[in-house]
Every structure is written in C-alpha cells, then in structure tokens.
Amino acid sequence: MAQPLCFVLMPFGRKPDAAGRVIDFDRVYHDLIAPSIAAAKMEPLRADEEMTGGIIHKPMFERLILCEYAVADLTTANANVFYELGLRHAIRAWSTVLIFALGGSQLPFDVAPLRALPYKLTPDGVPEDAEASVAALTTRLVEARRAHSDSPVFQLVEGFPDIQRLKTDVFRDRVRYSQEIKDALTAARKTGVDAVRQVEAKLGSLADEESGVVIDLFLSYRAVKAWDEMIGVAGRMASPLAATVMVREQLGLALNRAGRGDEAERVLTAVIEERGPSSETYGILGRVYKDRWEAAVKGGEALFARGLLDKAIAAYVKGFETDWRDAYPGVNAATLMELKDPPDPRRTTLIPVVRYAVERRVAAGKPDYWDHATLLELAVIAKDQERATVAIGDALASVQERWQPETTARNLRLIREARERRNDPVAWAIEIEETLVRRSGAAV
C-alpha cells in the first residue's frame, strides 16, 4: 500500500542565517527531516528532487496542494518557503508541521501560536543530537494524522473558505468599529489613564476583540505609564496574541516598571531561549538589570551593584550586536560603560558605531524621537556640546509621549551623577537634563 506523501518546504544547500552562521540544509534534510518522515510511515518529497520540465511553479503548486502532509523549515526566513507556507495554509486546514533552528535571530513573524518545533545545530551548521530531533519531529508528524487544524487561516476565519456576503458585510462593519476605537484611544492617550480605561470599558471580551484594537489598547496603557493595566490586558487577550514576541516583550517591560523585575526577567529570557536573540528583547532585558543596578546602588550594595551593571552592559551589547541598525541597546551600553568607575574604555569604540547607525536612519528621512535622543545622549557622553545642542532641539520637536523625554532625562541624570562622583562635571549638560524633565511634565 502506498504511503502518504509529505512535501518538504525548505532552503537548499548551505545558507547563512541573520547571525552569520552557515547552515547546511541538505544535511538538515538528510539527517533530520527525511528520517522523521520515513519513521512516521510517509514518503518524503523535496522540491529539488523533482526533475520535471515545464513551468517550475506548476509542480510546486501541485505538491503544495495535493501532498497529504508537509514539513516547513522556517530557518533563515526564506522568502520562497514563506510564500509556499502561506499557500499551504490557505489550502490545507491541517497536516503542516513547522520547524526552525535555534540560535539564530528571531523570525519575522511569531510562530509560537503555530507550534513550530525547534531543533539544534552544531557550530558546523548540521543537526545536533539528530536522534532526539528525529524522534520529536516523528511524533509531530504522527500527531498530524489526527486532523487537528494547524492553519491559522482556518482557525481564525470562521467558515473559511466558504465566505458569504453576510460575512464580508460584517467584516466591513468591524473595520469601521476598529477604526473608531483606535481614534478614541489616540485621543485618550493625550488625556491620561482614566480616559484609556473609559475606552476599554466600551469593549467586550478582549479575547474576542480584533487583534489591532487589543494591541492599541495594550500600548495605550504603556503610553500613560499604567503598567498594572497593561499587565492585565496581556492576561485577558486571546492566547495566540499573548504568545507573540511583541506582546511578551512589552509584558516584560510592564512587569519591570511595575516593580516585578524577577518576573520580567523570566518572561524575556524565555523569549530569547524559545525565539532566539533580538535587539528589542535584549534591550528590555538590559533595562531590567539597569533598574536593579540603580536600586542596589541606592541600597548601598556596592558589590552587588557592580555585578548587575556588568549584566546590564552585556545584555545591551548582545542586543546591539544582534542588529547593528537598532541603536537603542548600543547607546544604553555606551551610557552604562560611562557610569562605571573608571569608565569602560570600550565606549570610545562603541560611540561612533552607534552614531553611524542612527545617522543612517536619519538620512533615510524617517527619524523619530529616539533617533534624536540617541544622538543627544551620545553627544553628552562624548562631551560634545555643539552636537548636543542640535540634538536636543530635534528631540524636543519629535516628542510623542511624555515618558520619552523622561527616559532620556533619567539617563542623563545617571551620567551626571557618575561624573560628579569622579569630580568630572559637565555644566552645560545640566540645562539639557532639566529641559527634558520639564518637557515630560515631571518635577525638576
């Protein structure tokens, strides 16, 4: 009796991931994927094994549509694989298994709700502990025979693919409703937390609300620094949405600001372990350690504070090295290096690299508050009054939320206090710090 076919969606040959690691995908196929498919009593079929003539898309489409099962390797976020996966999810409600290699950068969309199976690689880019990985993938393939829906299209769009006119009319109404709520939240953010709460009170169950509305509510509470409310929204939203990297990162931020740093650290380190490194996750984790360091300094725990400062610097450096285009972790690493006594000499090498990253963003024509604030902070660290004067004007003109200048003022205060302890004050930087505090609405 013929075994069911299992189509394999994956890159071919040796390809680098975003972290620069070269992966041998042919070895991944031969050592991991093909044996797993065979063990699940299926027949593997990989696109590059097909030698049929004619238009290349025709056999690809046929296999995506007609093969009973499929395995998609999302490592390196290959565009062809993602295109093929989208087609597969639109056609097949179930029987598609996702895998990805641990240790690279995060994928461009969150696969956690889709139950992607991670596997490990050796430094040479071949499967590590292949026997265990084969067993895990075989189990997933056997489970796939039970016809449980794994396509987010079929899971989230009721009645798909039989979409009737009534549903499209309801969709139009929901789009209008969502825009009205988003407009109300935009206005509420300018008023304060009570106004945001009033908008939330008009909503139904957050688990049933449109994702864009829920995320807008979530971030609106962040804008008014309502950390407990933000944590509450994360707990009430739909599980697939709560499992996304963005929500988990922002939950970590809210937990930390609410004084629950240990929980924040667990949330963020779990994201890194499950989804790989990113500048955003490491940036928020660095802030967790930075806040702990400041508390230890105030508590007179000098040795403990020194260790926390080193952990914060390490987290920020890892974040910047993950994505050189994101200057946030880079400038924070440079700032904390300035706070050490004596200052960390690595900052002199780091500052021009971070400045270049920001200047490229500014040159692209889409600078925001954080770009100008980063240039300001770098100028203060470098004691460059001319650059700082230009940057403070640009930053003040770009403020969107009150907590933005407050955060920058806090960093400048830390730099000032460290320099004062070393008898190395910079008088002109004090006026800049006070200006930022006034712009945030806080007391000077």
Q: How big is the CA angle at 107 (ends 101 and 108), to the nearest 5 degrees?
A: 165
Which of the pair, 395 or 2, is modelled with greater confidence?
395
Mean pLDDT value of segment 55-66: 75
Assign residue 141 the CATH number of its domain: 3.40.50
pLDDT at 52: 44
Domain assignment present for 442: no
Residue 279 tokens, joined: 């500048």
Domain assignment present for 315: no
Burial class (CB in 10 A: 0-12, 13-18, 19+), 301: middle
205 & 64 share domain = no
Q: What backbone torsions phi and psi does residue 85 show, to the nearest 5 degrees?
A: -65, -40
Looking at 156, 181, 210, the residue that finishes a domain is 156
**Contact indicator for 256, 284 with CB cutoff of 8 Å:** yes
Give the pLDDT band (50/70/90) at residue 172: low
Which of the pair, 5 or 147, is modelled with greater confidence?
5
Total-model pTM: 0.70
CA 154 – CA 90 distance, rounded (Å): 8
Domain assignment present for 235: yes
pLDDT at 49 over 60: no
pLDDT at 70 over 50: yes
**Contact indicator for 239, 110 with CB cutoff of 8 Å:** no
91 & 22 share domain = yes
pLDDT at 111 over 90: no
243 Cβ contact partners less than 8 Å away, ≥ 6 residues apart: 110, 112, 113
Average pLDDT, the chain: 88
Task: Look up residue 429 and give its amino acid.
Answer: A
Task: Identify the CA nearest to 103 among candidates 281, 277, 282, 324.
Answer: 277
CA 85 – CA 88 distance, rounded (Å): 5
CA 72 – CA 68 distance, rounded (Å): 14
100 & 225 share domain = no
**Alpha carbon distance, N-terminus to C-terminus of the chain:** 80
pLDDT at 97 over 90: yes
Domain assignment present for 383: no
120 & 36 share domain = yes
Q: Which residues pair with 195 in a beta bridge?
A: none
Which of the pair, 240 or 430, is modelled with greater confidence?
430
**Total domain count, the chain:** 2
25 & 148 share domain = yes
pLDDT at 48: 62
199 & 152 share domain = no
Domain assignment present for 413: no
Domain assignment present for 74: yes
pLDDT at 109: 64
pLDDT at 179: 83
67 & 86 share domain = yes
pLDDT at 168 over 60: no
Give the pLDDT band (50/70/90) at residue 174: low
pLDDT at 194: 96
pLDDT at 112: 55
63 & 142 share domain = yes
pLDDT at 382: 94
pLDDT at 54: 43
Domain assignment present for 82: yes
| 375-425 pLDDT tens trace | 999 999 999 999 999 999 999 999 988 889 999 999 999 999 999 999 999
Range scoring the smallest mean pLDDT among 96-110, 181-195, 346-360, 396-410 = 96-110
Range of the domain at 213: 164-243
Mean pLDDT value of segment 353-369: 90
Task: Identify the CA nearest to 373 among candidates 344, 345, 401.
Answer: 401
pLDDT at 240: 82
176 & 137 share domain = no
pLDDT at 252: 97
CA 108 – CA 33 distance, rounded (Å): 23
Domain assignment present for 418: no
Looking at 124, 156, 188, the residue that finishes a domain is 156
110 & 20 share domain = yes
Looking at 189, 223, 243, the residue that finishes a domain is 243
CA 81 – CA 87 distance, rounded (Å): 10
CA 414 – CA 422 distance, rounded (Å): 13
140 & 14 share domain = yes
Give the pLDDT band (50/70/90) at residue 47: confident
Bridge pairing between strands 96-101 and 69-73: parallel
168 & 150 share domain = no
117 Cβ contact partners less than 8 Å away, ≥ 6 residues apart: 97, 98, 99, 100, 136, 137, 140
pLDDT at 366 over 70: yes
